Amino acid sequence: MRVARLGLALICTGLAVACGNKSEKNPTSPTAPSSAAEAGAAADGSTLKATAPAPASPKDGVRVDSRRPALVFANAVGKFQSGTFTYRVELFEGTTSVGAFTQAQASGNQTTYNVETDLKNNTVYRWRVRGEMGTAFTAWSGLAEFQTPAAATIGGGGGTGSVGANRSIGFNEAFAIILAVHDGERVDLGSASSREARVAFLWRAVGIIHFGHPVWNPAGGDPDWCVKDAGGGRPPSDDVLVRCSTREAWDLVGGAGGNGYSFHQEYLGRLDSAQNVYPPPVPAGGGGGLPADPNRPQLPDMRAQIQQFFNERPDLFAQQCAAGVKYVNSPWQDYIVDRLRAIDPRWGYNGKPTRTAADNGGRPVVAAGDELAYYYGSGTAQGSTDVYLVDILEGHCGPTPRLTWRVFTGEEPGFWTGAGRF
């Protein structure tokens, strides 16, 4: 099978709803002829003596695991003519045409149309396809129906709420996700890291595979990926990924805890029964790699509340970079912090001591406009370094900002500030 990329050629079909007539309920073949060949169309709309293509997948209302699914169909077969077909695929949301797209010519028995733009979450789509040869074409296929993944919410991996629908993730993709988290969050697993921090990173990364994550694994999680310890009271692994159902294991990091460590893919086989395998838990400190301390207030998981506050005031999100620089607070961030402080006054801003006016367009640093600080000390919070640090905004001041929940306590200095507001 040859997988061909599509060339976008959005057209208005004869579908009545798409072109203004609200009374039409079912998508039909175009009714207005666009060429001499189309003017001589048969009753089924075709101008070629050939079978119509046939949708193979997705169909029958199945929920797909991507907002850009691959639509696979059996090719048209000509009865008399020779030549190579191109294909036109049309998508519908309800009865409204999303667009018809010309597929590059393909050979073999099947062709795959790769959707190139994100479809809406949790939405039913239908699609059909016809073969074309020059200005002539086959009849349209029947309609096939599928549903896109459920809407992603804020997630952190290892949390109680999953992101997207469960799906199957192979080892290579799982490895790529772990590597992306490591590189994207600039994690150091070398000599400067503690074993506890390395374990926390691995278990959080496996949690992202297991549960899904809006940034690192938005298509949904695979609950068949696990973590392990060596049994008998021995410590947990900081570099081994395990397939839960089969107990197959892979070593991921060569030289973890030393200078010059590197990622690799070393298959270890099936673990013996002396080693424990279980789903990844929530790392202590909410994912920041800090050991649990019974005398210290633990970081509350506020993902659901932040999502709620975001939903309440979507208008404010457009002001997440109102000042045009990153290290000042914004009306959107102020709203989030005020709502959190109504629940727990330990919430505040990260004073971002690693940044200066030179990093902030010449303006004095007030606070990181995309981060929160949670004070776990006693006494005066202002200026204290006794804080958990959380990044809540991915792509701050960029073209596509979005919510996240990344605990990075211990990865860089931070201090609690009220940003002059309290």
Please give the share of the chain, as a percent, with pLDDT higher than 70: 77
d(CA 159, CA 304) in angstroms, rounded, equals: 11
Computed over its alpha carbons, how large is the radius of gyration of the chain?
A: 27
pLDDT band at 158 (very low <50, low <70, confident <90, very high): very low
Type of residue at 90: E
Distance CA 372, CA 303 (A): 12
Q: Which two tokens stand for residue 385?
A: 């370094």
pLDDT over threshold 80, residue 18: no
Local confidence band at 368 (pLDDT 50, 70, 90 cut-offs): very high
| Residue 100 CB neighbours (<10 A) | 21
Please indicate whether residue 99 or residue 322 has the higher confidence score (pLDDT). 322
381-405-187-230 Cα dihedral, nearest 10 degrees: 100
Query: Using CA atoms, how far apart are residues 354 and 186, in angstroms rounded to an integer?
Result: 15
Is the pLDDT higher at 406 or at 230? Answer: 406
Distance of CA 359 to the CA centre of its chain: 29
Would you state the torsion angle of the CA atoms of residues 271, 274, 277, 281, taken in this order, to the nearest 10 degrees? -140
Q: Is the pLDDT of residue 192 over 80?
A: yes
CA nearest 398: which of 314, 320, 309? 320
Cite the DSSP H helix spans in 6-149. 36-39
Query: Hey, what domains does the chain have and what are their CATH numbers?
Result: 2-147 (2.60.40.10), 171-286 (no CATH), 303-417 (no CATH)
Amino acid present at 170: G
pLDDT of 362 reads: 93
Q: Which residue has the tokens 């988290």?
A: 181
Integer Cα distance of 258 and 128 in angstroms:
55
Do 251 and 239 meet the contact criterion of CB atoms below 8 Å apart? Answer: yes
* End-to-end Cα separation, the chain, in angstroms: 64
Name the nearest CA neighbour of 90 among 22, 10, 5.
Answer: 10
Mean pLDDT over all residues of the chain?
78
Name the band, by pLDDT with cuts 50, 70 and 90, for residue 95. confident
CA-based nearest residue to 223, from 164, 181, 263, 182: 164
Among 73-82, 308-317, 324-333, top mean pLDDT goes to 324-333
Lowest mean pLDDT among 61-70, 239-248, 305-314: 61-70
Model's pTM, two decimal places? Answer: 0.38
Tens-digit pLDDT profile for residues 118-136: 787 678 899 999 988 888 8
Average confidence (pLDDT) over 293-310: 79
pLDDT, residue 45, reads 66
Contact 336, 306 (CB under 8 A): yes
Phi, psi of 342 (to 5 degrees): -65, -25
Sequence letter at residue 228:
K
Name which residue leads in pLDDT, 122 or 313: 313
pLDDT class for 106, splitting at 50, 70, 90?
low
Rounded to the nearest 10°, the torsion over CA 189, 406, 344, 366 is: 90
